[in-house]
Amino acid sequence: MERILGTLSRNQSLIYKVFLFIASTFLIIYLFPKGGQFKYNFQKGKPWQYENLYAPFGFTIKKDAETLAAEEQKIRANTVPFFNVKKGLVNEVKINFERLLNETYIDSLYDISVSEIKQTGIKLVDNIYEKGVTDQIYPYNDEQLIYLKNDNTITEATFQQLLQVEKLDEVIGQPFANAKTDRNEVLLKKILNRVVQSNVTFDKDLTETTIASQIETINPNRGIIEKGGRIIAKGEVVEGDTYQILDSLRAEYQSQVWSKSNYLWLIVGYSLLVMLVLLMLFLFLKQYRPEIYNNSTKITFIFFNILLMVLLTTIVVKLDAKYVYVVPLCILPLILKAFFDARLGLFVHVLTILLLGFIVPNSFEYIFLQIIAGIVTILTASELYKRANLFISVGQITLVYIVGYFAFILIHEGNIENVAIENFGYFVLCGLATLFAHPLIYFYEKLFGLVSDVSLLELSDTNSKLLKELSDKAPGTFHHSLNVANLAEAAAQEIGANSMLVRVGALYHDIGKMANPTYFTENQVNNVNTHSELDPIESASIIVGHVIKGIEIARKNKLPDRIIDFIRTHHGTSLVYYFYKLELETQGEAAMEDFRYPGPMPFSKETAILMMSDSVEAASKSLKNPTSTKIDSFVEKIINGQMEQGQFLNSNITFKEIELIKKVLKKKLNNIYHLRVEYPE
């Protein structure tokens, strides 16, 4: 049991990678469409590039979208609209009419009796409400057939049989057309205009329900292709009915209900392809980025971003595939370049696009555009801590999308008449969404503990709380750190290392000296050496202790681990040689372990550069009457000594790069000491 637990403990990193590999494969397959993939790529207006195609099974020919839309429009145009008739309103109008008539009728003013006027008015009300009254304007002609729904009874009528309220006076005036006086007509018009109300309203819900039920009956098919029938010959142009038949066959492949055995083979096929893609990522990391491969957090971060892009694209495609280009896929290489490097960013971007090719329609067009956009992203997005750079890069990415998409439209359509301007708007939205990279970088830094150039820029501010404290407590150390930062940054730029990371690491590498600043010569102002009263072992312990103290201070101030690495490694496993020699001289013997820094040795180019720059800058202060020759020789001596001790064995740095670093350090120190060529007297 103990042996098994020990084996698991030793291989926990490998076990985690296997788990991540399997879990990612499962999640991606779960998001994939559950249908067959059509094995032919074709474009409208282009020749068929494959052998003669015969129907592998019988299938129906689907109507195109335009035909279905036309049929739907025809149904809407021919559907009879429904109108609701308000129950009991006619009786209410009659009662109100009689009441107002009794209140306004005066015998002396009219030449007929109130009963005659009442009788005429009641007939007019019946005539007015024969079909119904409406006060709304509807887009129907007079001959339009309509249904009048009164409770559970539905009657037919034409639209012109409904009385418009504005035509009420014409109906009231008809009984009095031959009358000698218009007093009676005026009275009736006055009363009826007050009491007559609309009793017919358009029933939108019932009408739309009827339209929907009729649309459902539309047959989406327009024919049948029998199994074995020839669909298209090699070299034949894909257009017209042939294109629609091929599109129907592709839809049948992708949407048909698979049997249990077929579905199992489908999953096996997807699994092999997805695992192949993810395996390529692992092999790339192991071969070319071992520091990332051995870091579980960084691998998790990369896989998380791949899964996030697959998830977003799947959701958008399921909602509406035409919005697929709104997904800001170029955020992926932007983020990976910000945290790692351009080569890894582009590699992961391409692998992600290969996975998305199974999800999106027009996969060739999609893959082409996204790869080009990813390349542009990698080439243009640099120094993201400068806000303008991201905007410029996003503008270029958007332009490439638009130009590429326009080119595909020309290829597919052969003209610009059918260009849909709104499609270009999707690329603008994609560009705007890509600007979300900045807040996303900040979120990832907090979630995964990573460091980007944006954070490095903030940490490089010498007015930050920690560096101000270093300046106040140990001004000599602060000045030394600035000098080292300048040297290291120049050396990193020369060999193509991360100069911003090296600079920040140099600024913070000696913060541990704040605990005992006067024990370090750069902070001693009165030529009083506090080590003169201490044993060499005690002095060495204090000197070595500034590394441990620095790590404690860094963690307390929540500095990123990548910066703490510089504090841990800037002396490697070297000896505090001065006190070691002093102990040998005074005691006759000395244990090297008591005078050695705890390490580890530098394990990256950046940490190796800091070790060289720190040692050279500190030693340069002991030079008396420095000359160019002296500087060259002591730089060679210090760095060669570190190489002989094996301090750079783990840092993946070449002899050529070390020689370039020496050259930069020599040049910079010559500039610092303002050395000139000695002129003859």
Question: In the prediction, which pLDDT does 243 show?
Answer: 81
pLDDT at 260: 53
| pLDDT in the model for residue 192 | 80
Q: How far apart are CA 424 and CA 322, in angstroms?
A: 11
Stretches in the chain below the pLDDT threshold 70? 1-10, 34-39, 43, 107-112, 173-184, 254-261, 382-387, 413-414, 418, 527-528, 674-681
Which pLDDT belongs to residue 9?
A: 61
As a whole number of angstroms, the distance between CA 613 and CA 662 comes to 9
Q: Is 383 left (phi over 0), alpha (psi -120 to 50) or beta?
A: left
To 5 degrees, how large is the angle CA 568–CA 573–CA 575? 120
Please give the pLDDT value at position 181.
47
8 A C-beta contact, residue 90 and residue 125: yes
Residue with tokens 């000599």: 476
Displacement of CA 310 from its chain's centroid (Å):
10
Nearest to residue 605, comparing CAs of 508, 676, 499, 462? Answer: 499
Task: Determine contact, residues 105/111, Cβ cutoff 8 Å.
Answer: no
Q: Domain 453-672 falls in which CATH fold? A: Hypothetical protein af1432 (1.10.3210)
Q: Are 306 and 24 in contact (CB under 8 A)?
A: yes
Peptide bond into 600 cis (omega under 30): yes
544 Rama sector, left if φ>0, alpha if ψ -120 to 50, beta otherwise: alpha
Amino acid 478: pLDDT: 94
CA gap 382, 400 in Å, rounded: 18
Cα distances (angstroms) measured from residue 651 to each of 572, 608, 610, 643, 664:
11, 6, 12, 11, 19
Q: How far apart are CA 321 and CA 66, in angstroms?
A: 18
What is d(CA 302, CA 305) in angstroms, rounded to the nearest whole number?
5
Cα–Cα distances in angstroms (integers) from residue 464 to residues 91, 445, 455, 460, 556, in the given order:
86, 19, 12, 8, 15
Residue 126, CA distances (Å) to 39, 115, 117, 129, 153 in order: 72, 17, 14, 5, 19
> So what's the pLDDT on residue 173?
67
The predicted structure's pLDDT at residue 5:
59
CA 305 to chain centre: 9
Q: Cα 375 to chain center, whole Å?
A: 17
| Ranges of H-type helices in 449-597 | 453-459, 465-473, 475-495, 499-508, 536-556, 561-569, 577-587
Could you tell me if 201 and 131 are in contact, meaning their C-beta atoms sit under 8 angstroms apart? Answer: no
User: CA-CA distance, 192 to 165, in Å (whole number)?
Assistant: 11
pTM of the model: 0.64
Alpha carbon distance 90, 133 (integer Å): 10
- Contact criterion met (CB below 8 Å) for 521 and 531: no
Residues in the chain, total: 681
In this structure, is the dihedral angle defined by the CA atoms of residues 600, 606, 612 and 613, taken in order, positive or negative?
negative
Domain boundaries, the chain: 13-35+260-445, 82-202, 453-672
The DSSP secondary structure of 68-122, one letter per residue, reads HHHHHHHHHHHPPPEEEE-TTHHHHHHHHHHHHHHHH--GGG-SS-HHHHHHHHH
Residue showing tokens 């107002």:
100
Q: What is the DSSP letter of 259?
A: P
Tokens of 220: 């989406």
